[in-house]
A = this chain, B = another copy of it.
Amino acid sequence: MPLVRIDLSSTRPPAMRRAIADGVHRALVDAIGIPAEDRFQIVTPHAPDELIFDPNHLDVAREDIVYVQITLVTGRRRELKLDLYRRIAANLTEVGVRAGDVFVTLTENALDGWSAGDGQAQLVDLQSVAGTENQQAT
């Protein structure tokens, strides 16, 4: 169960924003193995001066950054995360974002940190989450 925040420039047209959101989601499905329907995303367009970034920190060339902040249930192996970053960048490149402009942050939280609606904590009942080894105790 991921929640994805995407903050990008309002100069990117709505169709591109949607394609970016699609690309991030597809990467999560392909890298982490979440179900395709496990999609929850918040897109926030910003005036260009609201997105502040260094144009070449860590030898990455940035011009028009796309911030992707993912909250995800804990437990995925490092290889899956690294694959996720590669896939997000690759998918976004396909829709016209420079690879250097794809900035991703991943924060992990607990299995009991989620309610997907109806006041229930669905993951606690499931006790098993795609991409993790198996059940998680708390």
- Interface class of chain A by DSSP: mixed
Do residues B51 and A105 form an inter-chain contact, with CB atoms below 8 A?
no
Known: A44-B50, A78-B138. A113 touches B105 (CB 8 A): yes
- Assembly stoichiometry (copies): 3
B35 touches A120 (CB 8 A): no
The residues in A between 83 and 123 inclusive whose CB is less than 8 angstroms from any CB of B are: 85-90, 99-110, 112-122
The range of chain A's interface size is 35 or more
A114 and B105 within 8 A (CB): yes
In the complex the two chains form, is B107's CB within 8 Å of A89's CB?
no
Query: A11-53 CB contact bits vs B (8 Å, 1 = yes)?
Result: 0001001100100000000000001011111111110011111
Query: Is A3 in contact with chain B by the CB < 8 A criterion?
Result: yes
Is B88 in contact with A119, judged by CB distance below 8 angstroms? yes
